[in-house]
Amino acid sequence: MPSYLVEARHLSLTQTGVLAAIPMLVSIGTTILGGWLFDRFFHDKARWFLSAIALVTVVLLLLMLSAGSTTAFTVYETLAAGVFGLATMGVFGLPLRVLPPALTGVGAGIMNFGGQVAGAVAPVAMGWLAEHFSYSAAFGFLVVTTLLTAVIAFWVPQRAEDFSLAG
């Protein structure tokens, strides 16, 4: 996002730094709110909770991509980060809730590993797409991977009974 704001929106690095902080600050609160919502209202409806969040985020990413002004872009980016932040604790809490106790450690490790890999690969992929194609292609990558999140939420087992210990 910082490169986009500097190159396409012609902002200074200082302005970019301030605007880049806003979505992350909002997602701090929505992450906590999302954990509370997940525990309180979506305990047995994780796939609906996570898929709905992902689909709303896709809409906000598309609005962000088509934003006509830097202010609109920042508002949509902030809303997208805030809405997607609602899913964070559900994503980490679901495996702990549904895996057999003997697998919760490895399950949490795999979740963390996946998040770390995504955090390392996504900026490289987006940078490559922006450099070789366009910023639209880079944002399209975000849209496609967020749609994939909605699909995976329905594919991943949602109850402990759906898992079996191999061997």
At 32 the pLDDT is 94
At 166 the pLDDT is 42
Tens digits of pLDDT across the chain (167 residues):
666 766 777 677 777 777 788 888 999 999 999 999 999 998 878 888 999 999 999 999 999 888 888 888 888 999 999 999 999 888 888 878 788 788 888 888 888 898 899 999 999 999 999 999 998 899 899 999 999 988 988 887 766 666 654 43
Fold for domain 2-158?
Growth Hormone; Chain: A; (1.20.1250)
Spans of all domains in the chain: 2-158
At 144 the pLDDT is 95
Distance, in Å, from the CA atom of 9 to the CA atom of 77, rounded to the nearest integer, reads: 14
pTM value is 0.81
At 59 the pLDDT is 96
Phi first, then psi, for residue 42 (nearest 5°) are -120, 25
